[in-house]
Amino acid sequence: MPKQILSTPHGPAAMGPYSIATEANGLVFCSGMVALVPETGEAITGSVTDQTHQVMKNIGAVLGDVGLGYDDIVKTTIFLADIDDFAAVNEVYAQYVGEAKPARSTFQAGALPGGFQVEIECIAAR
């Protein structure tokens, strides 16, 4: 199956020359999501906890638009501006992925676009 760019009307818009999600061979690749409110484009600038909730809602919206959910995520990568936020992000993240824990990597990125504190990308399987 060739690569397909997916339409995600409820997720955030791409902020550059990339797609929010693509699919190939039954795998859905979601670009890194930051804490933007899709309906308004507003940035959530509160705590890392607030930002992580918005990021996970954005991931859920994108996956929902293509007929998938959190249980279908097989791999995530979390980028943090500060690794000291690991525990707070982990607590919120766990609320969304539940018992269907995907494989995961977490890195301190040093700086993220727009001054965000957390960015998460994922791969989901049909």
Per-residue pLDDT band for 14 (boundaries 50, 70, 90) equals confident
The rounded distance, in Å, linking the Cα atoms of 63 and 56 is 11
Per-residue pLDDT band for 16 (boundaries 50, 70, 90) equals confident
Contact criterion met (CB below 8 Å) for 80 and 89: yes
* Domain span holding position 81: 4-125
pTM of the model: 0.95
pLDDT at site 68: 98
- CATH number of domain containing 106: 3.30.1330.40
The rounded distance, in Å, linking the Cα atoms of 114 and 105 is 22
Q: Which amino acid is it at 108?
A: Q
